[in-house]
Chains A and B, each alone.
Chain A
Amino acid sequence: MTTASARIILICSGKGGVGKTTLTANLGIALARLGERTVVLDADFGLRNLDLLLGLENRIIYTAQEVLAGNCRLEQALVKHKQEPNLSLMPAGNPRMLEWLTPDDMRTVANLVAERADYVLIDCPAGVEQGFKNAAAACQEAIVITTPELSAVRDADRVIGLLNSQGVKPVQLVLNRVRPKMVANQEMLSVDDVTDILALPLLGLVVEDEQVIVSTNRGEPLTLNGNGSPAARAYVNVARRLRGEEVPLIDPSKQRRGLRARLLDKLRKSGTF
Chain B
Amino acid sequence: MKLKKISSERVILFILEEISLILIFIFFGIFAYLRPKGILNIDTLIFTLYSAVPIGFVVLAESIVLFSGNFDLSVDQITGFSALCAARALMWFNGFPTTLSIFLPIIIGALCGSLNGILVGRVRLNPFVATLGTLMFFKGLKLVVAPTSIWATSLPVFYLSVGRSISTTIIVFALILVFLWFFFRYTRFGINIYAVGGNPESAHMLGINIGRTYFFTYVLSGSLCGLAALFYSGYVSAVPTNIAEGTMIFAFAGSVIGGVSLKGGRGSVINAFWGILLLGFIETGLAMFAVASEVRIVSYGILVITAVIIASFKDSLRDRILKPK
A joins B in a complex: no
Interface residues of B (CB under 8 A from A): none
